[in-house]
Amino acid sequence: MVLGTSFHFDGQGTATAADAMKRYCGLLGEQEMEGKSSPQWLATKELVKDDGEMVFEEGISRFCPNCAKILKSAVEGTYPRLI
């Protein structure tokens, strides 16, 4: 299971993927992050990491299914791009 592996938080070290996902669930509820829409931020910053897409697919379904639309939009590239 991917959620038992370690996952790196930029600037905050490494945690289990499950612990990281719990934090991301809170972040994904925000409208903007670092000047980007939530799905844009997810697509450009997190899904590109090794196993990132697999971690988020598994993690979102378990910890924050309400963010499934954000994940789908990020994976498909159908999100608003803020610049």
In a domain, 37, yes or no: yes
In a domain, 44, yes or no: yes
Residue 2 has pLDDT above 70, yes or no: no
Banded model confidence at residue 74, pLDDT cuts 50, 70, 90: very high
pLDDT of 70 reads: 92
In a domain, 81, yes or no: no
Q: How far apart are CA 71 and CA 67, in angstroms?
A: 6
* Beta-ladder partners of 33: 36
Residue 67 has pLDDT above 80, yes or no: yes
In a domain, 26, yes or no: yes
Q: Enter the pTM of the model.
A: 0.74
pLDDT of 54 reads: 83
Task: Report how many domains make up the chain.
Answer: 1
Exposed, middle or buried by CB within 10 Å (0-12, 13-18, 19+), for 4? exposed
In a domain, 83, yes or no: no
